[in-house]
Amino acid sequence: MSPDPTDRQRLVRLLHEMPKAELHIHIEGSLEPELMFELAAKNGVALPYPDVEALRAAYAFHDLQSFLDIYYAGASVLLTADDFEAMTFAYFERAAADRVMHAEIFFDPQTHTARGVPLDTVFEGLTRACARAERSFGITSGLILCFLRHLSEEEAFSTLEQALPWRHQLLGVGLDSGERGNPPEKFARVFAKARALGLHLVAHAGEEGPAEYVRSALDVLHAERIDHGVRSIDDPELVQRLAREGIALTVCPLSNLKLRVFDRLSEHNLAVLLRQGVKVTVNSDDPAYFGGYITQNFVETFEALPQLGVDDAYMLARNSFEASFVSPERRRQMIERLDAAFAEAA
């Protein structure tokens, strides 16, 4: 018997309307071309593309590095606290429309300090936008400072030191940028320092890198969550461990498709990992570049993987709340909202 199209329509509506948390969003990757060109004009920055259309046409990435090249060029327009606030609040406006209740935002300070932008400028703009989002939309948020793994651990230490005056505004630290040739072990000492400071720890692993990088992120860096982690599937014992220990994966389906981690979304292993008890979550990664914010990631993934249904939607959303670094009271509030949304849809 073929699936009832009315049921699928109901499911898509639920994916749009259900509350959710986003745990893997690079704020620089939410910089839409229109705002990028607006800020470039304001700040007198020359972009290597004549217009928005030409820039969007360049978004035919063949791997992570080809994306990063454009990503870093786009970040060059961010010079003032107002620029960072405008970019971040624009993300929150889209997140509010997607029913995001809580967002844990990655940012790359080294991308900006290398251009002479003070870290204080970055923090000021981001924190102003986070405060506005809570006032305007009720979205709670936290900032996760990511170290660029293609740079040295010494540079990561310097960045962490520069961020200490803003310690009260930091939720945690992460590890991103090119994974190939940059194993988690490279950053063992700086993660130990961040852990001693009481910061939460996350790390990109198992996107382009092997399952072994996921293991190292857990055992060497003591990461509490794994960003991406889809290559964990290559190590059945690791998958069992992730499920047994309740370690969340912040999976980004449209990013994985755009960067050729999977050739087709129908080949994505999200459903397989979820069925094996892994705490999978759905996120947008760099939505301005990868074709969709969080709800679009849900919708396209559920369309490509028809085995996913209402129960899976609930579990993915609940996983995002359970894996977030919020207070028990805030987690309870969010799960209650989720339960109410599904009760209304029943």
> In the CATH hierarchy, which top-level class contains the domain 21-345?
alpha beta
Q: What is the DSSP code string of 39-58?
A: HHHHHTPPPSSSSHHHHHHT
Q: What is the residue extent of each domain of the chain?
A: 21-345
Question: Which residue is catalytic, options 207, 208, 224, 344?
Answer: 207
Torsion of CA 266, 267, 273, 276, to 10 degrees: 90
Q: Each residue of 220-245: pLDDT tens digit?
A: 999 999 999 999 999 999 999 999 99
The model's pTM is 0.95
What would the two tokens of residue 310 be?
Answer: 């209402």
Pair 243, 203: CB distance under 8 Å: no
Q: How far apart are the first and last CA of the chain?
A: 22
Mark whether 322 is an active-site residue. no
Per the annotation, where are the binding residues for substrate? Answer: 286
Per the annotation, where are the binding residues for Zn(2+)? Answer: 24, 26, 204, 285
pLDDT at residue number 55: 87
Q: Round to whole Å and give the CA distance between 254 and 302.
A: 12
Q: Each residue of 155-198: pLDDT tens digit?
A: 999 999 999 999 999 999 999 998 999 999 999 999 999 999 99
Q: Round to whole Å and give the CA distance between 230 and 270.
A: 8
Q: Each residue of 92-125: pLDDT tens digit?
A: 999 999 999 999 999 999 999 999 999 999 999 9
Per the annotation, where are the binding residues? Answer: 24, 26, 204, 285-286
